Amino acid sequence: MIQILRNASHLPFKQITRTVRPVTCLVGNVEHRTYSSTVFTSRAVPVLSATDGRRQFVLRGGWAVGSRNFCSKKDPNPDDPVEPPAESVNYTNQLPATVAIPEVWPHLPVIATKRNPVFPRFMKILEVTNPMLIDLIRRKVKLNQPYIGIFLKKDDDNPNEVMETTKEVYEIGTFAQIQEMQDLGDRLRLVATAHRRIKIVGQLYEDLDAPAAGKDEPDAEKRRRKHKLRSKQMRNSNNDHTTDGTPLEEAPKRRLLKEGEQQPLLMVEVENVKHESFKNTEEVKALTQEVIKTIRDIITMNPLYRESLQQMLHQNQRVVDNPVYLCDLGASLSAAEPAELQEILEEMDIPKRLMLSLSLLKKELELSKLQAKIGREVEEKVKQQHRKYILQEQLKVIKKELGIEKDDKDAIGEKYRERIKEKVVPKAVADVIEEELTKLNFLESHSSEFNVTRNYLDWLTTLPWGVMSEENLDIDQASKILDEDHYGMDDIKKRILEFIAVSQLKGTTQGKILCFHGPPGVGKTSIARSIAKALNREYFRFSVGGMTDVAEIKGHRRTYVGAMPGKLIQCLKKTKTENPLVLIDEVDKIGRGYQGDPSSALLELLDPEQNVNFLDHYLDVPVDLSKVLFICTANVIDTIPEPLRDRMEMIDMSGYVAEEKLAIAKQYLIPQAKRDSGVEDKHISITDDALHALIKSYCRESGVRNLQKQIEKIVRKVAFKVVRKEADFTEVSGTNLSDLLGKPIFTQDRMYESTPPGVVMGLAWTAMGGSALYIETAKRKLLQPMDTNGDSKQAPGDGSLELTGHLGDVMKESARISLTVARNFISQIEPSNNFLESSHIHLHVPEGATPKDGPSAGVTIVTALLSLARGQPIRQNVAMTGEVSLMGKVLPVGGIKEKTIAAKRSGVTCIILPEENKKDFTDLPKFITEGLEVHFASTYADVYRIVFPES
C-alpha cells in the first residue's frame, strides 16, 4: 500500500480509499490464497492502460482503480502423489506489462517504418516478418520487456525490415510499448503505443548464433527446468525480485559494436530526448489557438479526421492546453511528406515545432477544401443527371398513358414507314423492310443485333426509291451552259446535246456510260460537272485510282463490324435521286489487291443490261441504276481492261492548240485568277503578246493546267507589288514576262532548223499530247577495207543496224522492217547503190531518257535510211507519221489530232499521213488544219515522191 501511494503521490487525488478482499482457490493439490488490494480516487487522471498477471490500471468512467494482488500457497501433503508439471504455454495476445513506463530504458530492439513516423501518445499496428527480429521480440516479451524503438527509414523504397547500419534510419525516433502481440508463426502483429522521443547513441552487439538452452535435453527434463524457472521468476511489485525476496540474476551486459564490426541493426542504445523549456508567451498562445482553429476547420471539412482526434481526446488528455501534445496531434492529422513529419519529430524548440505543425495543417486544410470542392461538383453533376433521368422516365410514362407517344420500338417502326410512304418501293424491297421491322420488334434494344438491323433499315428506307430529279430537256439552255463553262470540246458537247434530244423524244430520262480520255489538264473532270449542271442532275464524284478493294464498289456484308454499302448506294443516299450524274475518275489507274479486282466489279456496274438489278452486298436487294449517267475519265485507254472498255462509249479529248489556249486564258483563266487573288482590272493588264510568249516558251503541253499555274503566278506577283505600293498598275507584255516568270523553259521550237541527210521529223503521240520526234541515222564504221589497187571496197551483205534511244520492242521491230523496206526500195530506183547492204548504220531517237514505243514511226525510219543512203536531205519543214508493212504499204495510226497540233506547234508546213487517216483529218477544226499542206499516202512510193521531189 505504501508502494502504491508512493507511485501515485504525484497524482492530484482528492480522496483515497483502500479495500482488501481475500480470495481462495484450489489448483490441483495446491491451495492459493489471493489478497486483492484496491485504491480508488474520486478524480480522473490520465493513466495509460496496461495489463500484467498481477496488477492493473484501467480508466473507467472517470475513476482510476489501482489493484494489487498477493498470492500465497499451502504446502502440499508429502503423502500426496506429485504430478509432473504441465507444458508451458508459449505466448498469448495479452502481454504482461509493467505498471509504470520506465523513465530510462537504454537498450531497445529497432523496428524501421516507412512513410509516417509514430508520434508520442499514438498507437500503431506493426507487422514483423524478419526471423531474427521475430525471435528478438519474442525473447524481450518473454522477459517482460515489451519495449521497442520505432525509427523512420531514410529511403522509403527500401523493402528490408532490418537495416544494415544506423545510417539507414533517422536517429530520432520514439520509445514504444507493445500493448498486444499476435504470434502468427511466420510473422508477428504488434499493437504498440509510443510514449516519448529517443535518440540513437550507437548500435549494440547481438549474439545471433547463441544456441537455445536445453536444445538437446529430454522433454521431461525440459519441462521440469521450465517449471522451476517460471516459479523463480514470479516478481513482486518492482518486477526485480522473486517471490522469496531474492533479486533476479542480472542479464549479461551488452556492448557497442566495435569499429569495423558489421551486424544487422537489431538492438541500439538510446537516450531520452527532451524538448527545450519554453514559456507560454503570447506567440505560443497565438500559435496554439491557430492550430486548434485549423484542426477544427479540417474536421469540419473532412469528417474522416474526427476519429483520429477522438482517439486522442478519449484518454482525457488536455491536448488543447498542452502545446507539446498539440504539435504531435497536428502532425499526425496531416498527410505530409515523411521528411516534413520527421522534421517535426526532431524539432526540440516548441514554438518552432508549433509553426511547422501549423504549416502542415494549413496545407491539409487547403487539400480538404479542394477535395470538398471536387466532391460538391461531382455530386451536383450526378444529381443533375439523375434528376434528368428521373424526369425523362416520368415524361415517357406520362406520354404513354396519355397516348401521346408510343414505345421506342413502335416509334422507330413508324419513322421507317413514314420515310417510304411517299416513295415507290419495289415489292421485293418492301417485303424485306417489313420482315426486318417485324424482327426489330422482337429484339432487345441493347443487343448488337438490334443496332445492325436498325442500321440496315436506315439504309433501306433512305434510298430514293422512285424519286428522280426533273431533267432539263431544253437543248439551247444546255448548250449555253456548256459554252459558258468550257471552250471547245465540240465532240463532248455534241454528244450531250444528242443525249438530251433522245430524252426529249422519248419523254423519259435514261442512263448512259461515257468515257472521256485524253491528256491531263484538258478539262475531263470539270466538263462532267458542267454536264450535270446542264442536265439539271445531281452530281457525285468518286475516284477509283489505286482502289484495290471490291467492297468499295459492291459493299461489305452485314456480318462484318462497321459494314457499309458501296459507293453507288452511298451516292444514291447523298443525291436523293435515282438519276444522278456519277463521275468515276481515273478509271485507267484502278488497282488490284488480295481483296479482289475492282475493275471486274465495275463490269456489272457499267453494263446497261446488268445494272438494272445491281446487287449490293450490304443491301442484298436489287437496285435500279439504269437511269444513272455514268461518265468515266482516263488518260490512256491501253490500261483499261478490254471487257470494261467495250461497255463504255469512248470520246477522245485531245489537247489544245495555241489559239485555243489563248482563248481559254482570256475567257476563263485570267478572270478566275484575278478573282482568287483579289486583283482588279485597274491593277493588271495581260497583252496577247504576253500570252503567246507564255504559251510558246512556258506551256507547250496539251492541257491548260500548267498555263493556269503560270497565270496565277503572274497575278500573285502583281498583287504583291500592289500591296507593297511598288506599282499601282502593271502591264504584262512579252518583254517583261521573263521578269515575272523567270527564264523561258522552251527556247527553240525544234531541234533542227534545216534537217541534214539521214534526219527526218516524225510525229508521235504521248499521254501529254502530240510531239515532234526526230529520227537520226548515221554510219557507224567509217573505215572501209581496201582492194589491191588501194581503192576502198564494200562487201555486200555485211551491213548492220544499231538502235538506241530507249526504244520499245514494237519500235525495234518497226526499225528492222523499215531497213528491209529501204533496201528493197533503193534496189529498184538505184540498183548500183549498195550502201544499206554493206554499211554499219546507227539509228537513234533523241531524248534517250524518254521511253518510246509504237509502230507509227515506220515511214519516218524508211525515209531517214534512204536519205542517208543517197546522201541527200529531204524536203524541209516536212513531218510524217504512219506504219509501213514489209511490202511497202502505209498503214493507219492513231492520234491524228494530237500529231497535227504538234506539227503546227513546231512550225511544220507539210505533213504526210496514211490514206486511211484522211477521215480523221477532215474532222479536225479548220483553225487546226489552216496553213498546213497535207498529203495522204497509201504506199511508200507516194511518200518518196513528196520528200524527194527532184527524183
201 exposed, middle or buried (CB, 10 Å; 0-12, 13-18, 19+)?
Answer: middle
Residue 741 sits at φ, ψ, to 5 deg, of -110, -5
The SS3 call for residue 951 is coil
Catalytic residue among 124, 899, 904, 906: 899
Q: Tell me the one-letter amino acid at 745.
A: I
Joined grid coordinates for residue 838: 554493206
Q: What are phi and psi of 62, to 5 degrees?
A: 80, 5
Tally Cβ neighbours within 10 Å of residue 670: 20
Query: For the chain, how far is it from start to end, CA to CA, in angstroms?
Result: 159
Dist CA 566 CA 589 (whole Å): 19
Nearest to 581 by CA among 664, 703, 478: 478
Among candidate residues 148, 143, 142, 144, the one with its CA nearest the CA of residue 128? 148
Are the beta carbons of 625 and 614 closer than 8 angstroms? yes
H-assigned helices in 507-566: 524-535, 551-554
Report d(CA 698, CA 390) in Å as an integer: 74
One-letter amino acid identity for 743? Answer: K
Active-site entry in 599, 654, 839, 856: 856
Neighbouring CB atoms inside 10 A of 543's CB total 16
899 has catalytic annotation: yes
Cα–Cα nearest to 670, from 689, 691, 692, 655: 691
Cell numbers describing residue 936: 495522204
Task: Using DSSP, state whether 232 is helix, strand or coil.
Answer: helix
Q: What are phi and psi of 161, to 5 degrees?
A: -85, -35
Say whether 533 is catalytic.
Answer: no
- Binding-site residues for ATP, please? 518-525
Q: Nearest to residue 142, comparing CAs of 85, 199, 188? A: 188
Task: Find out whether 366 and 294 touch, Cβ atoms under 8 Å.
Answer: no
466: its cell numbers: 422512285
566/497 Cα distance (integer angstroms): 31
480, exposed or middle or buried, with CB in 10 Å at 0-12, 13-18, 19+?
Answer: exposed
Residues identified as active-site: 856, 899
